[in-house]
Structure 1
Amino acid sequence: MSWNSSAREDAQRAETVRLPYADRTEAGRVLAERLVPLGLEGAVVLALPRGGVPVGYEVARRLGSRLDVLVTRKIGYPPQPELGVGAIAEGGSPVFDGELLARLGLREDDLAATVAAERAELDRRVTAYRHGRALPEIAGRPVIVVDDGFATGGTARAAVRAMRERGPSRLVLAVPVGAAETVRALEAEVDEIVVPAAPWEFRAVGQWYRDFGQLTDDDVTAWLERAGHAAGGGAV
């Protein structure tokens, strides 16, 4: 199901999903069922760590697809790091929120040190999760980018732009829940966007889950190993 209806229809569709989700596993199963009708045979599922990995596991399991991670990092405003002014994904260039930078009186060059630090952490996580393996080859194949949800969508935007450069046959962004305004803003970035629930009143992704515990690097590795075992070693 892609995001292509009126605001009223969007609201009605959102009401068909029972929120909050129990946890990321339930959310992943709901999301997977929305992806099944799209005919994404041979797709690669790329989950954004950390929270997107258990969601991506359920999607990959249901579709019989390969699961891997696509590492992203938020670029924070230095005096207030929790305020994201951009994001970066492995294999891609930084993607900034130009309007926010202008309001803060910043230029992209002013964030060079922050970007360098986030690149270093991104590289560390790539090593921790994939142990030297490259991203799967996606040129000419469908790719599904999965997360547990998005509010502003900065990391999702960086992720799909990085993947677009690799030439997939079809680029799909899929999350169990996302802010309605952000869903509309991201629609032009992908071939399909699949979001079972898109509330207009949206503070944070965690408000839509009963269990939204923080995950560790070890948790991510465990989910990937589980996917590999389930696929006979072929999922990762």
Structure 2
Amino acid sequence: MATVFSDRRAAGRKLASRLRRYRERGDVVVLALPRGGVPVGFEVARALKAPLDVLVVRKLGVPGDEEMAMGAIATTGARVLNREVIAALGIAQDVLDKVTAKEEQELLRRERLYRGGRAPLSLEGQTVIIVDDGLATGATMRAAVRALRDKHPARIVVAVPVGSREICQAMKAVADEVVCATMPHYFLGVGSWYSDFSQTGDDEVRALLDEASRLRPGPGHQGDGGAAPDGSGHADGG
């Protein structure tokens, strides 16, 4: 029977137990993918006594079926495309560019909203743990990893409480290490493994980031840093 998390905060505490080797290290930064990854990342950062920040990534949804990802983008300008979906649906370049432009505006809005004037963490030479509430297609996480490579971290660790076994394994090709606390044989989607998978709101994201910034100054943070235990099965790769 696969693990079912009561909510994202509980999932974060579970995930943190798989990351204990990174606890109280001066070179570790936790980046959460808003919005659902922030409650998870908050608990991870608090358990590891590491600073917390966000990396805003947006899915590029297929027009008319926005839940289907044809790619993803990050605030650094990184874009990952699902060429198979684009080819299968015959999505034209101008349609792709229009969706990208729209999501770029939302990226900038969220970046301003969540940071509230705080400068981003310095990531160069750091071990960066990217956290989300789960891995389904992996499109947004791939965009996040690609964006981070431009920041020259020493190591990128992808960490999620639950994920598709196939995608967790595939993520090893892009990250230095992958930690999936739970990899069900029958995945069924991220939300199926949470008792409470209600939407994380912007106010909750801001409140958690504000609280994290007061907990602990982080290494290389140009201001305040913040910081995040427990699981069943993980994949490590590099």
Instruction: Assess same fold via TM > 0.5.
Output: yes
Judged with a 3 Å threshold, the aligned counterparts in structure 2 of structure 1 residues 187 and 210 are, in CA distance, closer, same or farther, namely: same
Residue 119, structure 1, aligned to residue 104, structure 2: yes
| TM-score, scaled to structure 2 | 0.87
Inter-partner Cα distance in structure 2 for 1:48 and 1:160: 11
Gaps of 5+ in 2: 218-223, 228-238
Question: Could you say which residue in structure 2 is the equivalent of 1:234?
Answer: 225
User: What is the Cα deviation at residue 110 of structure 1?
Assistant: 3.1
Q: Following superposition of structure 1 onto structure 2, how do residues 131-210 of structure 1 map, counting pairs within 5 Å? A: 131-210=116-195
SS in 1 for 2:58: strand
User: What is the Cα deviation at residue 177 of structure 1?
Assistant: 0.3
Residue 25, structure 1, aligned to residue 9, structure 2: yes
Gaps of 5+ in 1: 1-14
SS in 2 for 1:135: coil
Inter-partner Cα distance in structure 2 for 1:181 and 1:207: 17
User: What is the Cα deviation at residue 92 of structure 1?
Assistant: 3.1
Question: Could you say which residue in structure 2 is the equivalent of 1:46?
Answer: 31
Question: Could you say which residue in structure 2 is the equivalent of 1:6?
Answer: none
Inter-partner Cα distance in structure 2 for 1:178 and 1:62: 21
SS in 2 for 1:207: helix
Q: Deviations over 1:66-88 (max 9, x none)?
A: 00111010101112112111001
Amino acid at match of 1:59: V
Inter-partner Cα distance in structure 2 for 1:38 and 1:201: 30
User: What is the Cα deviation at residue 109 of structure 1?
Assistant: 4.3
Which segment drifts farther, 195-204 or 183-192? 195-204
SS in 2 for 1:160: helix
SS in 1 for 2:166: helix
How many equivalent residue pairs? Answer: 220
CA contact (8 A) 1:151 1:203 kept: no
Name which structure has the greater RCO, CA cutoff 8 Å, separation 6+. 2
Inter-partner Cα distance in structure 1 for 2:149 and 2:42: 22
Amino acid at match of 1:34: R
Judged with a 3 Å threshold, the aligned counterparts in structure 2 of structure 1 residues 39 and 190 are, in CA distance, closer, same or farther, namely: farther
Inter-partner Cα distance in structure 1 for 2:226 and 2:21: 22
Inter-partner Cα distance in structure 2 for 1:169 and 1:76: 32
Inter-partner Cα distance in structure 2 for 1:54 and 1:130: 15
Inter-partner Cα distance in structure 2 for 1:40 and 1:146: 18
Inter-partner Cα distance in structure 1 for 2:126 and 2:18: 20
CA contact (8 A) 1:85 1:97 kept: yes
Amino acid at match of 1:21: F
Q: Deviations over 1:94-142 (max 9, x none)?
A: 2100111111112444311110000000100000001244431111111
| TM-score, scaled to structure 1 | 0.88
Q: Deviations over 1:34-59 (max 9, x none)?
A: 01125782211000011111111111
Residue 64, structure 1, aligned to residue 49, structure 2: yes
Task: Provide the aligned C-alpha RMSD in A.
Answer: 1.7
Q: Deviations over 1:6-26 (max 9, x none)?
A: xxxxxxxxx6xx611111111
CA contact (8 A) 2:23 2:47 kept: no
SS in 2 for 1:195: strand
Amino acid at match of 1:186: M
Residue 85, structure 1, aligned to residue 76, structure 2: no
Inter-partner Cα distance in structure 1 for 2:14 and 2:93: 39
Which segment drifts farther, 33-42 or 55-64? 33-42
